[in-house]
Structure formats: C-alpha cells, structure tokens
Structure 1
Amino acid sequence: MSKYWSPIVSRLTPYTPGEQPKISNLIKLNTNENPYGPSPLAIAAIQREATSALRLYPNPDSEPLKLAIAAQNAEHGITPAHVFVGNGSDEVLAHAFHALLQHDDPILYPDITYSFYPTYSNLYQVAYKTIPLADDFTIRVDDYLNAGKNGGIIFPNPNAPTGCLLPLSEVERLVASQPDSTVIVDEAYIDFGGESAIALVSRYPNLLVVHTLSKSRSLAGLRVGFAVGHPDLIIALERVKNSFNSYPLDRMAIAGATAAIEDQAHFEYTRLAVIKSRNTLVEGLTKLGFEVLPSAANFVFARHPQHDAAEVAAGLRSDGIIVRHFTSARIAQFLRITVGSDADCQALLDALPKHLQKTAGD
C-alpha cells in the first residue's frame, strides 16, 4: 500500500485471468481460446490497415463494425443504433456496470459465475446479492423472481465456469418479469450450443446482450466485444465510453472484427468443429469416470468422484497440459477444460489414466 493511492485501491480484489504461460510446447486448455485460427478474411483486413493511415485516429464510433453486426441480426430488427462496441466484452461489461447497474438496490447474479462480476461491483461500488445455483449447477429463474427488489440482473449464458445453458424461453421469462430492471445476458459462449437472446431485444427495452469475438470468432488477441440492446441503453453506454476513452478500437481491430463478422462460412465451420470435438471429449472423460456437466460452451466442467481436482491438474501440468482449477468451495473438485483441437483433446485423454491410478484415499 502506498500513501499516494486513492482509498478505493486498497479495497479492490482484482480479477485474476487464466494463466498465460511463457513455456513453449504446452497444450493450453485453460483459457477457452478457440483452437482454430480466425477468418482469413479478417487477417487480410488487418494487414490492409497496416499502412501509414495508422497515423490517423480510428473511427470513434466503429461504424463499419456496428453496420456488420446490425446486418447479421437484421431479422431481429437490430439497427446500428442497437449496437455498442468496446475493447473486448470485459470493457463492454465494465461500462454496463457503470452506466446501467449503479442503483440503490443490489444487483443479482449467480454465486458461481464469471469472477469479473464481483470485481466490477467493488470497483464501481455496486451493491450485489448472489443467487445460489441449483444442486445441478443450473440457474433457476424463480430464485431471481423471488429475490426481492433489485438494481439489475446479470448472468452469463451459458454460465461460466459451469457451461450450463439457460433456455431462451427461461431467459425471456426472467426479462419479461423484471420490466423495471436492466437484465444483462453475457453470451460469450452462446455460439457453441445456445440460442441468442438478441432475438428478444426488439421486444424488451430492459435487455442488454453482450458478445465477444474472442471465442467463436477466434479473435481473443484482437480484443473486440459488443452489446445489443434498446437504443436508450446504448446511449447510456456511449455516454460512459465517451467519458472514458473515445477510441477503444483501433483501425486494425475495426477492420478485422468487421471481416470476421461478415465471414459467416468460417464462423460456422469452426463453431461446428468445436462442438464435435466437445462431444468427443465428453465421451472420453465419461469413460474415464468423470462427471461432466452438460456444456453449451467451448469448455467442459468435470470432476472425478475418486480424485482430487488440484492433484489431477498438477499431474497434467507435469505432462505439459494446462487446465483451469477453481478453489471456491462448491466447485473446488471441478476442472474447467477448454475444448482444444482433436489432437489436444486426445493428448489430454491419453495422459489422464496414469493420474487416475490412485484413489483419493491412497
């Protein structure tokens, strides 16, 4: 602690991202990166921007990207006025906490969820209340409806780190039942097995849907996210953004993200490849005795009833395979495993048996 810090700094517990090891030749299944490269059209668009034009500021409104996102969702009545973009979905979520969730009543989110939510709550001094997941680790809408007055609701769908999906009909029931609260649905993984709530935006002015290009568009290194919601919500986000950073996306990010959104063929190919690999991975883990939660994401959440998760993770690491282990009480025996390439997933399945030879009590 320094005497020069603002008082809030010492009260913060910063978010801890997944490890980005500097060791080469690792099989990295801990941060939910897509094993397939981004669209070749996106790479070409980025390369075209690497000119002397970089001396100029980018478009502050990222208009080409907003137009592309709106065009992809035109069937749902989405226009550029319904779209907000930012430097990764984390920045979009941060602005949403600041612009839409700072009220007198506490906001609601699951007790097991994306760990950036309590970080943002503390940073922006937003009161919050966590709602326990069901015993099967699913979100129960009725628990939110019975939680009393709130200042907003936010949850990932599929949830993270569980991967469990809330059906769109249940999302709509929640949104429709909370007309006085903003409901934010964080759909970072929706493309791997769910139906997006963007389809509901034109009917519900209190709904904001957040997406990222890091997962299904394979652009984690470019840092682009967006939100879709009623124009009144978007205006609030724009006012906060323009009080913070008028140029969150650079020229290369705008060009690459726009091309990635427009390349639907590449998106579908890689998305379906990940889903196929996930199914194979779940089958293999189940044969080894793991309990695997139903996943609609590009990762699986699994535990072995006879083995300590931390010990299994450490054993895999000794083999050059990294998975994510969380220490929170309810999920301390789970591993979150990214769906990698078929070769990566098979390497994991091949390595696991030797770490499962001893039971937890031996």
Structure 2
Amino acid sequence: MVRVIRWVGESSGKKYIHPIERCIHDGGNIKKVIGTKTKVIGITKVHIPNPLHPIVPYNVLILEDEHGHRMPKKTIKDYCLGDVYEDIPNAGDNAIAAVRIKYDVGEAVDEALELIGGLAVSKKQKILLKPNLSIPGYPYLGICTNPQVIRAVISYLVRKGAEPKNITIAEQSFFMPLEKAVEKSGIAEIITEFGVNYADLAKGGFIVKKEREFTFEIAKAVYETGLLINLPVIKTDTVLGIDGAFENLTRFLSKKAFDELAKNPLKAGLALATFPHVFPPFITVGDASIGMQGNGPAMNGEPGFFNLIFAARNPVVHDTAIQEALCLKKLPYVELAGTLGYGTYEIENISFVGNELDAIRRDIKQPIGSKLIQE
C-alpha cells in the first residue's frame, strides 16, 4: 500500500502536491485524491552518498498511480520499468511501519497504522493516548509529541468508529505542574476541537504490579482502557539513549516509583526491560516528524527533522528499529527485553513495511555521558 496524493480544485481542475484549503486559481473547493495502485515509470540509481542518504547504491523510482499522478520513492531494492510497486501490510508483532512524511502528517499516520494491519475500534471502547508532554517546549523543537500527530491519531480513531468522549489523552510530569509543562504543546486546541478528555495521571489512582524483583505503582487508567496507544516523540536521551516506546511508559508510574528507579540508572534499565510484560498489549506510534538528536531529551538537544512516522505492535521491535535506523548505540534494556522473550530484538528478524531499513537509515548526533549505554 503506497499513497500518491493530490489536492484538486473541484471547479478549476488544478492539481497541487501539498495540502491547501481553497484552490489558489479560483478560490473554489478542494478535494483530496488518493491513488494506491502504482507502477514504476522511471528509475535513477544513485551511487554518491550524502549525510541524509549514506547507504549506496539506492534507487529513486518514479511511481505513477491509477489517476496519472506521480511521486518519487527511494528504495534499496531494484525494480524494472513497468513493475507494480506495492507495500503489503503486516500485522505481525515483529513488524514496524516506517513512513516518510511528504506534505501531510495525517496521511503518514494513517498509512503507518494501516501498514501494521489497522486498528479495530468500537463505539463504546475506551481509548487511552499517552503522548510525551512532560517537558515544556514548542513542538517544532522536537521536545514533545507533535500535536499534528496526536490530531491525526484521534482523527483516525474517530473515522474507525470511536466516540471522542471515550478517548482520553493522559500524561504527567515529575518535574513541574502538568499544566505548565503542556502549555506550549498545542494540546488544548486538540481537546477543544475533538471534545476528547484529558487526564493528569498524577491525580488518578495507582495499583501495585510486581514483576521479577521489581514492584511498580502503575496508573489505574492503563488497566481500565480497551485500547492503549503509546505516542512517544523520538528523541535522544543522555541517560536511556532514546526516548521511545519504553521511556514514554515511565510516566505511567507513580512519582514515588519513578524517583526510586531514577536513583540507579542500571537498576532502572533492568526494570524497563520488564515493561512489555507489566503493561497490557499496546500500539506504539513513534513521532519522528521532527524529533531530537544530540544531548536530549530537553534543551541541550537539537531538532532532528527526521520526517518519519513509525508504528508497531511491540515496543521491543519499535525501539530496536529506531536504534538501527538512527545509528544509535545499543539499548541494553531493549536487548534484555528481547532476551526475556518480550519481543524481537534481532534486526534481521524485524520486518520493515513502508520503507526498508537501509532506505531510511541515517547517522544522527549521539547522546553522550550515559552510564547505561555502551560507548
């Protein structure tokens, strides 16, 4: 499944490759035309690397859809003129969707979710969304989950039949009042737009969960929902390596439990490895639309502009794939979780859909100074 999108003036017939609300030619209405049946009509093989495309050779295909609309597509695999190009969805636990954002974040999120088999939701189902909003910062800095991604996920759920009143956005901050942490995030507009709920996890109840030698206090909301969607912003972390699927779950813990783990990074890493077994099954949509590189996860990092959306059914698969795609050092807690049988850690056994690993791989600025991550 690949999507070629045009915004077309209903009266003028003018076509645009970027989203617009009114036709620039005559001010008329716009309709979105999406093509999904594509064939290869042009091929360029590139042999010269650059920082954003370090692995060569690769191919740039020109794809044409059933409407005659065209788009470029980078791929490592070789194709011939006239070949059909398609991305086949994979709903397996070892699959991850990696979708490049073209001009429309919403379409990228939709495509990523459909590439992992889509989500089945019911009208009465309670849905909990957990973005990363714990540190104050504007989304364009890559500090918090992009509100466009949150909006896209909610729109997807509503189209699938979910009731906005049954959708809750939940977060907490261990460092300051949550209201202050999220005031720059753009979340207030989304709550008003859709009529969804918003919850400060610190003000809800917690239940005790034991796993191996660890005792956790975890928000009750996790176990009272029918569908949990983890929405981390993908950014580097000087302690954990990356803020991904695993790190974003830590704010389901009580502050007491979090502070106890924070005292010992090595112990925290061991505890993190048990999370896939402690939490009920969940979907992760990784927001790498902007993201962060360098000494994240806060003001010492810098925007990464990764221009990607990831989606996976397993957090081990999700964080391993991002580790490899961004050329980060090995994440020991993710590897341990894989060793414990909580997900596929061997990169050769992870199935990439939407884009091949080598087609999106790039070397970003590494976080330095972690006692947890291997140098």
- On whether the aligned pair clears a TM of 0.5, the verdict is no
Of structures 1 and 2, the one scoring higher in RCO (CA 8 A, sep 6+) is 1
Higher strand fraction (1 or 2): 2
Q: How does the TM-score come out when normalised to structure 1?
A: 0.35
